Amino acid sequence: MAVMDRYWPAVSCCPDGTRHMILVPVPTAATQEFMIMRLALNFDAPGIVQLLQENAPELDIVHSSAPPAALQEVEVLLTPAAGASNLSGLLSACPRLKWIHILGTGVDDFPLELVGDQRVTCSRGATASPIAEWVMAMILCFEKKLPDSWIAEPPQSWYVANLGGLEGKTLGLLGFGAIGQAIARRALAFDMRVLAKVRQHRESPLDGVEFIESLEHLLPQVDHLVLALPATAESRGLIGKAQLLQTKPGVHLVNVARAALLDQAALRPLLDSGHVAAASLDVVEPEPLPAGHWLYGHPRVRLSPHISWSSVGIVSRMLGVFLRNVRAYRQGMPLEGLVNRSAGY
């Protein structure tokens, strides 16, 4: 029997906040019957079902539309953040439910008010790497004037350009969770100065990242401002006209969080004037954005259809958080991505 046939992967959390993969013994055949756990799947995805069956054979999977008798024994619910309109009835049909996992990284579209005191987790952090790469790509495009500096015919002159660079530039991060930290590590590698405004001031866990106590102190210093924090009642409308006017002329704004954090109407005249030199937006309001909307055609806007999270194997990565949590749940260990209902993320 191979090592991975005898042991399951699990995550161990150290006092300093770092996480390490460890191996825990797989239950023997004599105890296997006590390990079966019924999971209700609240969406149709044969590929995910196959991944679950291959990686967590102890799960007895039923669909949320199964007969009431099948839902009576459900212990865990796997659901998307959006489109969970049936949640209220489903919770009533699952009296033994102990844990809900949202297969997504944000919970602002999930009706947390319906879950009561249920334990809720999400796949927070699973998309941090691709989103961080997208952010750095937008920053590089801005500084290197791409694709405008590419040529398809002889230019007026060779060897002459007015390109910027990342070295010595200041990156401002609003939010310093998994995404913010992934962006910071990459920015530091480009010798950027990195400032971060966080919800609760604390010492920075990354050398080279300076935490700023107030938004008013951060905004005038940054060349690139990145929104990377969850949408909550506290953060909605965080960046409006007054905040944008506090930024230095020529700032580059990047939003990979939620459109609700940014006042799009207030952004437009500052883009027109050039005070905001460019806005790289992966999230907008509404989504999908209707045809003819001004964001499509503005020369200072770089717009993508909420795809910064996309990468090879990203679904498996998001599902991996849930699978690690299944192991942790069985071992009585802390779960990843625990949602704080009072904070809204």
Domains of the chain (ranges, CATH numbers): 3-126+312-331 (3.40.50.720), 128-303 (3.40.50.720)
Find the largest Cα–Cα distance for the chain. Answer: 79
Q: Is 203 a catalytic residue?
A: no
Neighbours of 221 (CB within 10 A): 16
Q: Is 306 a catalytic residue?
A: yes
The whole-number pLDDT of residue 294 equals 98
CA atoms of 248 and 28, how far apart (whole Å): 63
- β-pairing verdict for 276-281 and 7-13: unpaired
In the chain, beta strands by DSSP E: 7-13, 19-25, 37-41, 59-63, 74-79, 99-102, 119-122, 170-174, 193-197, 209-212, 224-227, 251-255, 276-281, 301-303
Please, what's the b/e burial string for 224-240 (b: 16 or more CB within 10 A of its CB; e: otherwise)? bbbbbbbbbeebeebbe
The whole-number pLDDT of residue 81 equals 85
Catalytic residue among 186, 193, 224, 258: 258
Q: What is the mean pLDDT of residues 288-300?
A: 98
Q: What is the mean pLDDT of residues 130-134?
A: 98
CA atoms of 345 and 177, how far apart (whole Å): 11
Q: Are 138 and 302 in contact (CB under 8 A)?
A: yes
- Give the ranges where the chain is alpha helix by DSSP (H): 3-6, 29-32, 46-55, 68-71, 87-93, 128-144, 178-189, 215-218, 241-246, 264-273, 294-297, 314-331
Is the pLDDT at 334 greater than 70? The verdict is yes
Catalytic residue among 185, 268, 298, 306: 306
Q: Are 196 and 204 in contact (CB under 8 A)?
A: yes
Is the pLDDT at 7 greater than 60? The verdict is no
The whole-number pLDDT of residue 84 equals 64
Q: What is the mean pLDDT of residues 161-166?
A: 97
pLDDT band at 198 (very low <50, low <70, confident <90, very high): confident
Q: What is the mean pLDDT of residues 244-266?
A: 97
Positive or negative CA dihedral for 50, 54, 56, 59?
Answer: positive
Q: Which of these, 55, 57, 9, 20, lies nearest to 316 by C-alpha position?
A: 55
> Model confidence over 69-97: pLDDT tens digits?
999 999 999 999 876 668 889 999 999 99
With 0.85 as the threshold, say if the pTM is over it: yes
> Model confidence over 225-243: pLDDT tens digits?
999 999 888 889 999 999 9
> Model confidence over 13-60: pLDDT tens digits?
444 444 444 444 544 443 444 479 999 999 988 889 999 999 999 999
8-state DSSP, 334: P
Q: Are 197 and 144 in contact (CB under 8 A)?
A: no
Positive or negative CA dihedral for 265, 269, 272, 275?
Answer: negative
Spell out the residues 6+ positions from residue 205 whose beta carbon is closer than 8 angstroms to its own: 17, 181
Instruction: Name the residue with higher pLDDT: 146 or 47.
Output: 146
237-245 LR contacts (CB < 8 Å, sep 24+): 237/261, 237/263, 238/174, 238/262, 239/174, 239/263, 240/266, 241/266, 241/270, 243/215, 243/219, 244/270, 244/275, 244/276, 245/270, 245/275
- Provide the mean pLDDT of the chain: 90
Q: Are 267 and 279 in contact (CB under 8 A)?
A: yes
